[in-house]
Chain A
Amino acid sequence: MNNDSTPMIWDFAFTFEVMPSLLQGLLVTIQLTLIGYSIALTLGLLIAVVRRVPYVGPVVHFVMEFIRTTPLIIQLVFVFFLLPASYALPVFGPVPITAFTVGVVVLGIHYAAYTAEVYRSGIEGVAKGQWEAARALSLPTTRTWGAVVLPQAIRKVIPALGNYLISMFKDTPLLFAIGVAELLTRAQRVGSESFRMMEAITLVGLLFLLVSIPSAIVIRRLEKRYAAV
């Protein structure tokens, strides 16, 4: 920021001028969050179930521990610069590996390590009698999990899972490090082009609030609803 040429007065014209670009960035941020969160929810559930399998479980557990104890930004940078720019699939031919793809997948896997723990606590919270009743009825394993255990386990952890949605949303600016055109990346770009960093960064903060606050309210309501049962 150059204090001589740009006095610290909020520039509304600039604000309106960069808004479309920032809103584009917000859209990318939301896409990243939603896709990454879907990955985290499904993969986390899979991991939580696989963790109970003998032999395979401890290995999966170790990998997840590793993911949870190293910083997300390191994982992003490491994976992005390690992978080639495109990958040749057998049928589809070369598929480009974009920063967006890497970002969303790494974000999803990273958060899966956390959601897996949430699911695990939910599964462990299901009463032993439920497993025994399922066994006494000879229910197949798929029904025991799919119809008895998981519906009860997931219901209990919906609020905890919701909190990770907000955490993940707030972690998306880390993808700046690998150049995904999300909100912070765009703000940095328009800010440095015009030397109006203050407006750009403040707008990023406001746009994040605009999404987080309603999401937090929705999650609080979910919490109340599921805590009541």
Chain B
Amino acid sequence: MPPSDTPENTTAPGVGDGVADGPLIVFDQVVKRFGDLTVLDHLDFDVAAGERVTLIGPSGSGKTTILRLLMTLEKVTEGRINIGGEPFSHMPKGSGLAPASESYLRRRRKSIGMVFQQFNLFPNMTVRRNIMEAPVNVLGLSKDEASARAEELLDLVGLGDKIDAHPTQLSGGQQQRVAIARALAMRPEILLLDEVTSALDPELVAGVLDVLREVAETTDITMLCVTHEMGFARDVSHRVMMFDEGRIAEEGHPDQIFGDPQEERTKTFLKSVLENGH
């Protein structure tokens, strides 16, 4: 099944402007090394606007690194990433390309949001301020606008009554739902989800996944999701990519990957995940 959402409906301005056709995200021969360790090995893939892709694979296979490269928390060692038809890991300089500068990245990554495994809410701020901080200081919204947006998003994640609480007063699941609201407050075009339920107690996982299902159903945000929640991956994603040793071992529609995996590595991996009770 191709992505059902159409890129024309994308609301957030920024990376995808003026690109009706062509993929939104392009990885072109991307290599990422940490010292001698090669985490991503000449990786090529595209993601269409509005597409929801799940990245699975054993730990250390490079899934999280892909998200971190897109969030500019890491830099590519070799190769290029383009977003919306324009260079992202690099920037135009003269007639060629140079590694992207901080100010270039700052401008380009505004339309990308990320939710982390450890939530990473700001503990010194209330829930409301956590959500308002970036819309006010990055997008230039007025405090009233940002506050209204925070209220609206907290209702979406079912935490309207916690708006003036501090993160430490919330459960892990609630914190993660606030973190989702915080990322959405920037009206991102691309949302990166990095093992968002891995740090949660089992009984809190469902609430977070329900929120994400709702986001997937009601918006056309492009999502890249690293997860071990195979049921969730099957429900929301248009495509699943199986990673192994920094390369894509297999990719396809979730029904095919989970129902009829072709590669031995995919079969072994899915078997081990099921046995571990995820």
Contact = CB atoms under 8 A, between A and B. Distances in A.
Q: Does A associate with B in a complex?
A: yes
B118 A137 contact: no
A222 interface: no
A136 B113 contact: yes
B122 interface: yes
Contacts of B138: 137-140
Contacts of B10: none
Interface string B88-130: 0000000000000000001001101110101011111100000
B123 A129 contact: no
A135 B71 contact: yes
A139 B137 contact: yes
Nearest to A148: B122
Contacts of A65: none
Contact of B116 (A129, A143, A147, A229): A129
Contacts of B106: 138, 140
A137 B124 contact: no
Given A129-B116, A132-B73, A132-B116, A137 B123 contact: no
Contacts of B72: 135
A229 B123 CA distance: 10
Nearest to A154: B124
A129 B124 contact: no
Interface string B180-194: 001100100000000
A194 B137 CA distance: 66
Contacts of B109: 138
Given A129-B116, A129-B118, A138-B106, A152 B134 contact: no
Contacts of B73: 132, 135-136
B112 to A, nearest CB: 8
Contacts of B229: none
Given A135-B72, A137-B186, A138-B109, A155 B124 contact: yes
Interface string B157-184: 0000000000010000000000000110
Q: Please tell me the size bucket of the interface on B.
A: 20 to 34
Q: Please tell me the size bucket of the interface on A.
A: 10 to 19
A133 interface: yes
A133 B116 contact: yes
A147 B130 CA distance: 10
B125 A147 contact: yes
B133 A137 contact: yes
A75 interface: no
A130 interface: yes
A133 B124 contact: no
B249 to A, nearest CB: 28
- Which of the listed residues B71, B114, B137, B138 has the most CB atoms from chain A within 10 Å of its own CB? B137
Contacts of B114: 136
A194 B183 CA distance: 74
A115 B257 CA distance: 57
A146 to B, nearest CB: 10
A205 interface: no
A22 B112 CA distance: 65
A17 B54 CA distance: 84
Given A138-B106, A138-B109, A147-B125, A133 B120 contact: yes
A127 B125 CA distance: 15
A151 interface: yes
A139 B106 CA distance: 9
A116 to B, nearest CB: 22
B214 to A, nearest CB: 21
A143 B124 contact: no
Contact of B124 (A136, A139, A148): A148
Contacts of A136: 71, 73, 112-114, 116, 183
Interface in A117-152: 127, 129-130, 132-133, 135-140, 143, 147-148, 151-152
B136 to A, nearest CB: 9
Given A139-B133, A140-B138, 7 more contacts: A127-B118, A129-B116, A132-B73, A136-B112, A137-B186, A138-B186, A140-B106
